[in-house]
């Protein structure tokens, strides 16, 4: 494949080669290939490796090892957190609060809960995609048992005030779940400092393998299992542990713990340069989501634009021809043909949500990626605008 | 199936669309179609001579297949008798492109509809400047958007909770999504002034253009105010304060909700 500028880190990240290296001893004979449930020595090696990995992942997130349950990824972690918590705690109430900025994984689980007799309230977000703790609190009733707020938006990169929401809920009897997938490795996450009850994690988002993740379950928080079987992971997640992938997640966490500050500074510099150049060089372009300043309000990797009069899928196709991989919230690129719910909730009109283009950078982004993007993006926008019946409306007379 | 799994022919037409542009003249008619869900918008212009399509141009806002089908239909019908051109169907356009992904067949394969609309408009004597957008699969006849008296049923419930009838201190709306109802120059000027205080100001009007003087209109064009035309606010929603406005899209006859923190209805 030719050399593509990859600016879609939010969709998938390359696995760090050091992580691949760390996974290799867990496959074949001569390595650690046992079942952690077996009582023989081969099984004991597996148990030791599993617990080492658990400790490494826990350490990176400021958690205790016994608070980490390995899953097949964040989607499974979200299912276990929301369905498992709601079912286990149903006698306390039947009301769940989420936000309008949630990932589709959480939105669809919430619909499932509604079908199964729970009430779900969706808290609106502001212009920048941020949920207001005040508005969230106004939606909590005596029946509320669980609040779920994504740590950051996978789409527009807005970082939610999770610490503030967690402090607000602490001691109230209402559990807080957060899907931290978009935020992990990009903003500090420390369970010893923030009283979150449940947190979904994915390995790939810290440059580990796909197909593995974890659910953080704070000590004392009760969830019912969703997958039943042999009783692995304290009975909460049955199925023989995928040791190679789990070791990969642990290696990814250890590397990230050491390199995150430098990583983030470099990624943010690339992103800042792209945002600066796009807004300066392309007329009628806008940044969606939170402003770059103050820096804590937005993921350092995320640049999310809209361009008046241009549709997102057409931009993606044109950029693909020019060797640039990016993403869009346009309806035309989705399975449902609905535009991004997050952008609509931010207050954008459908036609504006259709014109969105998302670039996300990461550990292997190159410093000249911005130059290569900007060598083609203005031309792509200009060409599509000549085709567009909508753009002339915005041109000054 | 991935929406990007287009045939080579579709991609070729997307990359090098034929007959892009507009037409003018006494024998020109336009067909405008739009799909409110998918968001595609298509204008097809025909220049008719002796009941034949002498020239044809298009402009399209939409995804890859929206652009490619527009381009293809112009190639298919140029030089054709009008009756013959009316027989060119969506399926013919898709076939000519070696097929479209199934999910796109319904949504963005609008070019044949726009062509038929243009022919009908030409026969009915509808001038391009009077042609309205026809929502797909709703009506085959252009329906003029009437200017409607704005009456929001529960406006009073949100007075002081997001709704204001005057704004003395613009800074109180900082960082908010403000919708200003078009009540003339004063409202439009307020909308323009508000863009210094917040990143999101929408001027909402039931007309095709805001009812303002030409000086204010050009100031509006140059400003960051987002114009929302042919939109009628119906009802306000929100938990204790304004959060959403239910809006009737008069052009497409659809209802949707617009997220907003503040609504200004000048007295």
**CATH number, residue B242:** 3.50.50.60
Q: Is residue B193 one of the residues assigned to a domain?
A: yes
Domain boundary (B82, B102, B135) is at: B135
pLDDT tops 50 at residue B226: yes
**How far is Cα A160 from Cα B219, in angstroms, rounded to an integer?**
36
Residues B95 and B185 in one domain: no
| Catalytic residue (one of A48, A163, A265, A332) | A332
Tell me, what CATH number does B127's domain have?
A: 3.90.1010.10
Q: Are residues B17 and B87 in the same domain?
A: yes
Q: A270-283: per-residue pLDDT in tens?
A: 999 999 999 999 99
Q: What element of type H or E holds B121?
A: helix B111-124
Q: How many domains would you assign to chain B?
A: 2
Distance CA B108, CA B106 (A): 6
**B104 in any annotated domain:** yes
Query: Which of A53, A81, A64 minimizes the C-alpha distance to A191?
Result: A64
Helix, strand, coil % over all residues of chain A, rounded to 5 = 45, 15, 40
Alpha carbons A381 and A231: distance in angstroms, whole number: 55
Among B135, B164, B189, give the residue marking a domain's end.
Answer: B135
Q: Which of A383, A338, A150, A359 is nearest to A271 (CA)?
A: A359
| SS3 (DSSP) at A297 | helix
Q: Of B175 and A351, which is predicted with more confidence?
A: B175
Digit-coded pLDDT (tens) for A355-384 = 899 999 999 999 999 999 999 999 999 999
- Which of A325, A349, A383 would best serve as a mutation to test chain B binding (most B beta carbons within 10 A)? A349
Is the distance from CB of A245 to CB of A23 less than 8 angstroms? yes
Do B160 and B75 share a domain, yes or no?
no
Distance of alpha carbon A345 from alpha carbon A132, whole angstroms: 13
**CB contact at 8 A, A296 and A159:** yes
Q: Which residue blocks in A153-215 are alpha helix, DSSP H?
A: 162-169
Joined tokens for residue A301:
């990797």
- Indicate whether B127 and B173 sit together in one domain: no
- Quickly count: other Cβ atoms within 10 Å of residue A20's Cβ: 14
| B96 lies in some domain | yes
Q: Is B107 among the catalytic positions?
A: yes
* B94 and B166 co-located in one domain: no
Q: What angle do CA A323, A325, A329 make, to 5 degrees?
A: 140
Question: Same structural domain for residues B185 and B117?
Answer: no
Mean pLDDT of chain B: 87
Lowest mean pLDDT among A84-88, A158-162, A312-316, B175-179: A312-316
Q: Which residues pair with B263 in a beta bridge?
A: B163, B179
Handedness of CA B70, B74, B76, B80 (dihedral sign): positive
Going along chain A from its start, the domains and CATH numbers come out as 5-11+260-394 (3.90.1150.10), 17-255 (3.40.640.10)
B121/B23 same-domain check = yes
Residue with tokens 């690129």: A333
- Same domain for B14 and B114? yes
Asked whether residue B43 falls in the same domain as residue B127, the answer is yes
Q: Indicate the pairing of strand B231-237 with strand B244-249.
A: antiparallel
- Asked whether residue B258 is assigned to any structural domain, the reply reads yes
CB A369 within 8 A of CB A7: yes
* Residue B98 belongs to a domain: yes
The pLDDT tens digits for A148-166 are 999 999 999 999 999 999 9
Question: Among all residues of chain A, which has the CA nearest to that of B104?
Answer: A332
Q: Tell me which residue in A138, A321, A330 faces B15 most closely, judged by beta carbons.
A: A321
pLDDT at residue number B251: 80
Domain region containing B256: 155-264
ipTM of model: 0.80
pLDDT > 70 fraction of chain B, expressed in percent and rounded: 89
Does B146 reside within a domain? no
Instruction: Quote the pTM value.
Output: 0.88
Query: Average pLDDT, whole number, for chain A?
Result: 94
Please state the rounded mean pLDDT for residues A74-100: 97
The two three-digit tokens of residue B207, written as one number: 């007309």
Residue B244, SS3 per DSSP: strand
Cβ distance A347 to B103 less than 8 Å, yes or no, reads no
Chain A: give the shortest CA distance to residue B37, in Å: 7
Tell which of B106, B135, B164 closes a domain. B135
Token pair listed for B173: 């709306």
Q: Tell me if B141 is assigned to some domain.
A: no
What's the pLDDT band for A390 if we cut at 50, 70, 90? confident
B48 lies in some domain: yes
Contacts of A313 in chain B (CB under 8 A): 3-4, 63-64
Q: In the prediction, which pLDDT does B121 show?
A: 94
CA distance B223 to B225: 5
φ/ψ of A162, rounded to 5, equals -65, -40
Length of chain B: 267
Interval B120-132: pLDDT, tens:
999 998 888 888 7
């Amino acid at each position: 494949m030719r050399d593509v500028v990859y600016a879609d880190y939010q969709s998938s990240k390359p696995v760090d080669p050091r992580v691949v290296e760390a996974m290799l001893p867990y496959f074949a004979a001569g390595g650690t290939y046992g079942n952690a449930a077996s009582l023989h020595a081969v099984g004991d090696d597996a148990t030791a490796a599993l617990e080492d990995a658990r400790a490494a992942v826990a350490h990176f997130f400021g958690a205790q090892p016994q608070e980490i349950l390995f899953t097949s990824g964040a989607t499974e972690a979200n299912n276990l957190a929301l369905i498992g918590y709601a079912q286990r705690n149903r006698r306390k109430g039947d009301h769940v609060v989420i936000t309008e900025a949630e990932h589709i994984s959480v939105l669809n689980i919430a619909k499932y809960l509604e079908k199964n007799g729970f009430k779900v309230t969706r808290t609106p977000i502001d212009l920048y995609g941020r949920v207001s703790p005040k508005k969230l609190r106004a939606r909590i009733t005596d029946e509320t048992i669980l609040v779920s707020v994504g740590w950051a938006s996978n789409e527009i990169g807005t970082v939610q005030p999770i610490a503030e929401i967690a402090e607000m809920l602490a001691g109230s009897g209402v559990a807080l779940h957060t899907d931290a997938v978009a935020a992990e490795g990009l903003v500090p996450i420390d369970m010893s400092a923030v009283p979150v009850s449940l947190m979904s994690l994915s390995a790939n988002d810290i440059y580990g393998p796909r197909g593995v993740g974890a659910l953080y379950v704070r000590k004392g928080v009760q969830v019912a299992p969703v997958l039943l079987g042999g009783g692995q992971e304290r009975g909460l997640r049955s199925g023989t542990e995928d040791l190679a992938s789990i070791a990969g997640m642990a290696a990814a966490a250890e590397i990230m713990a050491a390199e995150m500050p430098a990583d983030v500074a470099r990624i943010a510099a690339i992103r800042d340069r792209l945002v600066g150049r796009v807004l300066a060089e392309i007329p009628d372009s806008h940044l969606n989501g939170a402003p770059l300043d103050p820096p804590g309000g937005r993921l350092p990797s995320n640049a999310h634009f809209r361009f008046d009069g241009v549709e997102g899928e057409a931009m993606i196709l044109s950029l693909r021809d020019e060797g640039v991989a990016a993403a869009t919230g346009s309806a035309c690129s989705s399975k449902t043909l609905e535009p991004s719910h997050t952008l609509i909730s931010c207050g954008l009109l459908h036609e504006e949500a259709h014109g969105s283009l998302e670039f996300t950078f990461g550990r292997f982004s190159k410093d000249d990626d911005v130059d290569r993007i900007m060598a083609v993006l203005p031309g792509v926008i200009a060409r599509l605008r000549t085709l567009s019946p909508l753009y002339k409306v915005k041109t000054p007379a | 199936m991935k929406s990007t799994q287009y045939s080579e022919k579709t991609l070729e037409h997307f990359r090098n669309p034929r007959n892009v542009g507009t037409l003018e003249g006494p024998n020109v008619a336009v067909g405008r179609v739009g799909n409110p869900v998918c968001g595609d918008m298509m204008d097809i212009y025909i220049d008719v001579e002796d009941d034949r399509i002498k020239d044809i141009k298009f402009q399209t806002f939409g995804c890859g297949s929206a652009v490619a089908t527009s381009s293809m239909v112009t190639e298919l019908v140029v030089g054709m008798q009008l009756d013959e051109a009316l027989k060119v169907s969506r399926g013919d356009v898709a076939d000519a492109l070696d097929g479209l992904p199934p999910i796109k067949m319904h949504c963005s394969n609008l070019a044949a509809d726009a062509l038929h609309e243009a022919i009908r408009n030409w026969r009915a004597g509808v001038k391009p400047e009077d042609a309205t957008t026809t929502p797909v699969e709703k009506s085959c006849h252009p329906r003029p958007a009437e200017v409607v008296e704005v009456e929001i049923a529960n406006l009073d419930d949100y007075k002081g909770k997001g709704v204001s009838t005057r704004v003395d201190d613009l800074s109180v709306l900082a960082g908010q999504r403000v919708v200003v109802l078009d009540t003339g120059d004063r409202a439009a000027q307020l909308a323009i002034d508000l863009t210094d205080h917040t990143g999101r100001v929408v001027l909402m009007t039931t007309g095709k253009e805001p009812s303002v003087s030409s000086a204010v209109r050009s100031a509006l064009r140059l400003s960051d105010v987002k114009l929302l035309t042919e939109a009628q606010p119906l009802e306000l929603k929100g938990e204790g304060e304004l959060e959403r406005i239910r809006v009737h899209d008069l052009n497409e006859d659809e209802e949707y909700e617009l997220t907003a923190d503040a609504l200004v209805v000048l007295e």
